Structure 1
Amino acid sequence: MKSLWLDRESPFTSDEIPDEKHFDTIVVGAGLTGMVTALLLSRSGQRVMVFEARTLGAVTTGNTTGKLSLLQGGVLSALRSQYSLKVVRAYVEANKSGQAWLTQYMEQQGVPFQRRTAVTFATTDDGGQRLRKEAAVSRDAGLDVHFSRDAGLPFPVVEALELEGQAQIHPMDVLATLAKDIRAHGGLIVEGVQVQDVGSGLPLDVTTRKGSFSADTVVLATGTPILDRGLYFAKLEPHRSYAAALRVPGDIPQSMYLSIDAPTRSQRTQPTADGELLLVGGYGHPGGRAASPQSHLDELLGWANKHYPGAEVTHTWSAQDYQATNLVPFFGKLPRGHGRIFFGTGFNKWGMSNGVAAALSITSDILGGQSDWATVIHHRVTSPKGAAEAIRHNADIARRMIEDRASARKNPEITDETRPPEGTGVVGLYNGEPAAVSTVEGKVCLVSASCAHLGGLLSWNDAEKSWDCPLHGSRFTPEGKYLEGPATHHLQTSVGKNSDGRKKD
């Protein structure tokens, strides 16, 4: 699986690891949040280094659907059910700021994007009621939304809510431009360097797989924080969703669409040199908890083909987003970091605006300032409903850990002769320890089935051929190499062996 955005020859080439060891700020993660933060700090005169464990945009930003919208399904009414209107308005202002900064930047830099009407639609009466609640809260929060019964879709809808003047972008065009701009202001961007820890002293020691560095400030822009300080992994729920690009005969509706009913169904267009494509997305599930992720993708493609007969699939991909249990994104200072470690997370599938807003707020904090909307969000009080959701979420995780460990012992024993069918993986016991073995492109790999974060029992992702953790969303290749999530190490490969390499008795 490779996204439409990542399926091209990248104009970006990584910098070499420098001899220089100290920087004003080290940014961890080269997605949209990290790159905007790096640019703003570089422009201020700071010496900035960006470390990316994989490649530019390889994780969420390069696998988004690229919608830059203030109309976000049922987000605002969900927020209003837990918070005052003041907090909801602050959330909207944050997203307005993120959207305004990014569209202005693209216009200044000549990065192409398209202005579109955003449409949230309902296909059931229950969805229609939820849509009316969303409309009322949106208006109270200052958005000029209006209803339309003709959404222009090839299937009937009960009701549709519209907001004009939103945008759709090519995220990798944006990242490539940001990278060039960062370098023009003296910043460095190094791919293939995974940060594993940040010390607690000053200056901050930054430990990577390829050496140690130090910085006055560190910004974690890694989707979910890679440091467990503050226990944010316990305040976030990972959600995996799917997307596809299709070549469709005939005309394609030109708005950006999102269903308020489950399963989520999203669509937009994307101009290419070979004509316009239809992009569809949705059909998500909690990360690592689907019996067959491939079936979710198949359902998405089935829905698209039903309503766009003759569509030809050109790309399929998937992305992981994190939702805060109390619904509001987290950004700012990480606990136990002397006020010098910053982070942003919990963008809940709206990272194009929330991610930039987080970057603006983090940069203001570092340079000495802050916006009114950030102050309101920082000082919000989690509602009883939000606190109860956090308790439920973590109780569910604890139950899952117990049940998974028990189930592993009931699975068939894994031996050196275990060979799963092509494209599959199985979990069981190898010399008494949880192990995971898979076969991908004829290669059989045996790794520990315990997540390198907190030991959750991994599950096989048959869509992306990866090992995914159902607890906090860490993901690994069949060979056990880290892909994303709060883990900072690869999976163990010496399963069931003593330190000298011999099998355990």
Structure 2
Amino acid sequence: MSPWRSASTSASREIPTDEFEPLATYDDVIVGGGVTGLVTALLFARRGHTVAVLEAGRVGGTAVGSPRVAISRLHGAQLQTIRARTYQRVVDAYAEGVREGVEWLFDYAEGAGVDVERRDAVSYATTRAGLARVDGEYLVGRRAGLDLVKTADVDLPFATIGAVRLRDQGLVDPMDLVQALTADLRALGGVVVENAAVTGVHASAPVITSTALGDVRSERVHVCTGSPILDRGLYFGKVSARRSSVLTLTGVDASELPDALYEPVEARGRGVRASRGELLVAGSSHPTGRAPSEAALVDELARWAGAHWTGATPRRAWSGQSHSTPHGVPFVGALPRGHGRVYLATGFDGGGLPDAVYAARMLVADVTGDAADWMSVIHHRVTLPPAIAAGVGANAATVWWFAKGWAKAFANPLLPGEVPDEGAGSVGLEGLRPVARSTVDGETCTVSGVCPHLGGVVTWNDQERTWDCPLHGSRFDAQGRVVEGPSTRGLRILRP
């Protein structure tokens, strides 16, 4: 097992929760206290709306304890992926929305006193096939208005054969941003409530949002939870959950640290950047719940970094989850059967913070009616055969993993007294039911091995020490509590 665990957040980074007001009625309720939800709430509050943010856990969610993240318009070969599955007008509209998102973030950070490290962004190739993707990203990006420059000058300690560069992007600490957004929202009368897991939304007038703390009434609800926690429109099946690892390393000479935000265009490449004297290496992207060992992927990152940077010593590992759409463009807008009162934003893939602002601005514009031209293009895009094929392939894989999980559980009876090693977990059959048993911090816990969302059999994540569902990316801690959706219910505890 990898010894590099995510560090806990210090008390100085904690954001106190507001008191819950079960009888209050708001203009807009935002489900999800990440950057997307907080920016959406702030933009509504600036327009005079009464706003409440409901967060299932802690504000900032998985951003807590994470390394600095990019504010960039260039992400590997993302624009080329969109162009391959749709048409140029959609690429242009998406690029314009992301441009405005980047500019909003830079302006907001400056006004709020949030530190941003300015860096160039570079998409690089290490193979001839990758070089073709670099060329493609250059052509698509230039046509979409990005001031890209092709270059062979890539300052990295391993062989590359070409790259495309975009000047003056940035790095920011996501929790600095979350804290500033929360403070500004509260200054405008907004309410931010933690530990308010949403269990359902009834699209009546007013909308009734059911939470672990009681019901909340509002004119509208906006679901900004990464993977949608509502089944309306079946969006949980239209996005694919993926996890990637980030390893921070110390001991690298300052002169050897990379001076830009490097992202590969090849699927198994490594993202590389430096921040505050540390080296950050990212990669090992894979569908959630489908890796044989998450810890082994982190170890692989460590070996790779050590082979290229002398003295690189792993300090800690962190991983994040993203959700991709079949066409590469986020889903943002009104949910079916929501009567124009329930909205969602999901499918940001590798777009990160700029996509969060992009989505927040679209959600607000859908309510206020002042949509920009690029928003109208996104809303009225046509789903083309390549995107349909990608969606069909993703759902076929989901069906296969459903069958595989149940077959594996039935083939692995668990002994009643069997205790996993520290940090380990196993799934097997107990009677006629799949059960999941793990040992974390000396405590052995047995929970149902079946995800409450759609019945997938969970797998053990030996790096994060969670139970992950390989169907749609729901995640649960060792005691069965929900870490990430779309499931709104935890794994049933069978015995401690």
Q: Does 2:417 match 1:422?
A: no
Matching residue of 1:51: 54
**1:156-235 matches, cutoff 5 A:** 156-235=159-238
- Match of 2:26, SS state, is strand
Q: Are 2:304 and 1:303 equivalent residues in the alignment?
A: yes
Where does 1:232-243 land on structure 2 (aligned, <5 Å)?
232-243=235-246
**Contact map agreement 1:282 1:300 (CA 8 A) in 2:** yes
**Contact map agreement 1:452 1:490 (CA 8 A) in 2:** yes
CA distance in structure 1 between the aligned counterparts of 2:489 and 2:30, rounded to whole angstroms: 19
2:268 corresponds to which of 263, 266, 270: 263
- Residue aligning to 2:493: 493
- Distance in structure 2 (CA, Å) of the matches to 1:55 and 1:441: 22
Aligned residue type for 1:124: T
**AA paired with 2:366?**
D
Cα distance in structure 2, aligned partners of 1:2 and 1:222: 24
Rounded Cα–Cα distance in structure 2 between residues aligned with 1:43 and 1:80 = 35
Q: Deviation string for 1:214-233 (max 9, x for gaps)?
A: 11111111001100100011
Match of 1:94 in 2: 97
Amino acid at match of 1:479: Q
Q: CA deviation at 1:9?
A: 2.8
- Letter in structure 1 aligned against 2:264: S
Deviation at 1:140, TM superposition (A): 1.1
Per the alignment, residue 350 of structure 2 pairs with 349
2:326 maps to amino acid: T
AA aligned opposite 2:234:
L
The answer (yes or no) to whether the contact 2:207–2:220 under 8 Å persists in 1 is yes
Q: Which amino acid aligns with 2:383?
A: T
1:454 is the counterpart of 2:436: no
> In structure 2, what is the equivalent of residue 440 of structure 1?
440
- 2-side partners of 1:399 and 1:277: how far apart? 41
Q: What displacement does 1:391 show?
A: 1.4
Quick check: 2:22–2:214 contact (8 Å CA) kept in 1?
A: no
Q: TM-score, normalised by structure 2?
A: 0.96
Establish whether residue 78 from structure 1 lines up as the match of residue 76 from structure 2.
Answer: no
Give the C-alpha shift of residue 414 in structure 1: 4.2
Counterpart Cα distance in 2 of 1:152 and 1:410: 51
Partner in structure 1 of residue 294 of structure 2: 293
Q: Distance in 2 between matches of 1:284 and 1:452?
A: 25
Q: 2:45·2:190 contact (CA, 8 Å) conserved in 1?
A: yes
Residue identity matched to 1:383: L
Residue type at the aligned position of 2:316: H
Preserved CA contact (<8 Å) 2:227 2:323: yes
Any idea what SS the aligned residue of 2:446 has?
strand
Q: Runs of at least 4 residues of structure 1 off by over 3 A?
A: 1-8, 60-65
Which of residues 108, 112, 131 is equivalent to 2:115? 112
**Shift of residue 437, structure 1, vs aligned partner:** 0.6
Q: Hey, what does 2:44 align to over in structure 1? A: 41
Letter in 1 for 2:339: H
1:109-132 CA-to-partner distances (Å, cap 9, x unmatched) read: 121101111011111111111111
- Mapped to 2, the partners of 1:423 and 1:109 lie a distance apart of 41
Deviations 1:28-77 (A, max 9, x none): 11111000001111111111111111111122576475111111111111
d(CA) in 2 for partners of 1:485, 1:60: 16
CA distance in 2, matches of 1:388, 1:327: 13
CA distance in 1, matches of 2:356, 2:22: 31
Change (3 A) 1:437 1:40: same
Aligned length: 490
Mapped partners of 1:321, 1:95: distance in 2: 17
Secondary structure of 1:133's aligned partner:
helix
Alpha carbons 1:24, 1:217 under 8 Å: kept: yes
Listed one character per residue, the Cα deviations across residues 166-193 of structure 1 (whole Å, up to 9, x for unaligned) are 1111111011000000000001111111
Conserved 8 A contact 2:149-2:166 = yes
One-letter amino acid of the counterpart of residue 14, structure 1? T
Measured in 2, the distance between the counterparts of 1:119 and 1:92 equals 17
8 Å Cα contact 2:203-2:342 kept in structure 1: no
Q: CA 1:123–1:104 in structure 2 vs 1: closer, same or farther (change >3 Å)? A: same
SS of alignment partner, residue 150 of structure 2: strand
- Long gaps (5+) in structure 2: none
Aligned-residue offset at 1:476: 0.2
Q: How is 1:24-39 mapped onto 2 (pairs within 5 angstroms)? A: 24-39=27-42
- Confirm or deny: 8 A CA contact 1:447 1:494 kept in the other structure: yes
Percent identity over the alignment? Answer: 40
* TM-score normalised by structure 1 residue count: 0.94
Aligned match of 1:253: 258
Inter-partner Cα distance in structure 2 for 1:138 and 1:406: 45
Q: Deviations over 1:269-302 (max 9, x none)?
A: 222xxxx222221111100000101111111111
Q: Is the 8 A contact 2:70 2:352 kept in 1?
A: no
Q: Measured at CA, do residues 3 and 171 of structure 1 come closer, stay the same or move farther in structure 2, by a change above 3 Å?
A: farther
1:469 aligned onto 2:469: yes
Q: What is the one-letter code of the residue matched to 2:447?
A: V
Which residue is 1:503 aligned to? none
Q: Is the 8 A contact 2:451 2:491 kept in 1?
A: yes
Shift of 1:309: 1.7
CA 1:168/1:100 → structure 2, altered by over 3 Å: closer, same or farther? same
SS in 2 for 1:444: strand
| Superposition map of 1:129-140 within 5 A | 129-140=132-143
1:19/1:401 Cα in 2 relative to 1: closer, same or farther (>3 Å)? closer
SS at match of 2:233: coil
Residues in 2 aligned to 1:222 and 1:414: alpha-carbon distance in whole angstroms: 38
